[in-house]
């Protein structure tokens, strides 16, 4: 399956292999040994696939400027701890995924392409949004990292307009509300209404409910921003 196949398979396989190596073995005897638990199914499995790809892509983007800095590792850890509520055991999995990504060094474009083939569009948009959220945590991004993020967007099949709208969420300027809806400030009223309807459907929290409640909550933040931006534009234009 996708979880153990493709370029990300070596990363996940290495992490799971290490985890199994550290499980205490039963003493003595040659009979049947307890087998490892099967991979999770349903939302848990979807969440694991998503997180594995997210961590790998974040790690590769962070290393685009030469090496992963300690503050970048902290930014990833803080995101999973504070925004997703990960406990120590979960954070250890994230740490091992980062380490294994650096060791295996999978091709960024191939990771994105495989994820795109196996995932619904809502997951692709969510992943790029989280890459920007963490990469721009300090409101700055190195040119090499920015190019890597554009590579991610391109190989996920995300349009330039969609990418600009996601990026604008974290880099505020005077045209923020329009950028959030993915339209120009001189867009017509009808274009703005149409863009709002499209964005409201595309980013509805229910679209990513299969990834788990924590990702649904993150999607709700984006959904709220879309509504707020639309209301601000309506107010300014008297719509």
Return mean pLDDT, the chain: 79
User: Taking the complete model, does pTM exceed 0.75, yes or no?
Assistant: no
Residue, of 93 and 157, whose pLDDT is higher? 157
Report residue 198 CA to chain centroid gap: 21
pLDDT 10s digits, 122-153: 989 988 988 888 887 666 677 888 888 999 99
Domain ranges in the chain? 2-20+41-237
Residue, of 43 and 95, whose pLDDT is higher? 95
* Torsional sign, CA 66, 69, 75, 77: positive
pLDDT at 59 over 60: yes
Sorted by sequence, the CB contacts under 8 Å of residue 125 that are 6+ apart come out as: 158, 162, 166, 202, 203
pLDDT at 195 over 90: yes
Q: What is the predicted pLDDT for the residue at 36?
A: 40
pLDDT at 27 over 60: no
Quote the CA–CA distance of 122 and 19 in Å, as a whole number: 31
């Amino acid at each position: 399956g996708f979880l153990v196949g493709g370029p990300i398979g070596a990363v996940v396989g290495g992490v799971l292999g290490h985890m199994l190596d550290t499980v205490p073995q039963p003493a003595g005897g040659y009979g049947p040994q307890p087998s490892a638990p099967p991979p999770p199914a349903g939302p848990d499995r979807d969440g694991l696939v998503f997180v594995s790809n997210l961590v790998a892509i974040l790690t590769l983007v962070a290393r685009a400027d030469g090496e992963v800095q300690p503050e970048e590792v902290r930014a990833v850890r803080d995101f999973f701890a504070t925004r997703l509520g990960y406990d120590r055991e979960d954070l250890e999995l994230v740490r091992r995924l980062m380490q294994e990504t650096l060791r295996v060094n999978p091709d960024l474009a191939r990771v994105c392409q495989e994820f795109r083939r196996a995932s619904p569009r809502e997951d692709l948009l969510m992943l790029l949004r989280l890459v920007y959220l963490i990469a721009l945590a300090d409101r700055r991004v190195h040119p090499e990292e920015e190019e890597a993020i554009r590579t991610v967007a391109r190989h996920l099949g995300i349009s330039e307009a969609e990418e600009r709208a996601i990026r604008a969420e974290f880099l505020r300027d005077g045209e923020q509300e329009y950028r959030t809806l993915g339209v120009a400030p001189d867009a017509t009223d009808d274009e703005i209404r149409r863009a709002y309807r499209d964005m409201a459907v595309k980013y509805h929290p229910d679209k990513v409910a299969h990834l788990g409640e924590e990702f649904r909550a993150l999607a709700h933040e984006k959904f709220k921003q879309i509504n707020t931006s639309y209301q601000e534009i309506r107010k300014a234009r008297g719509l």
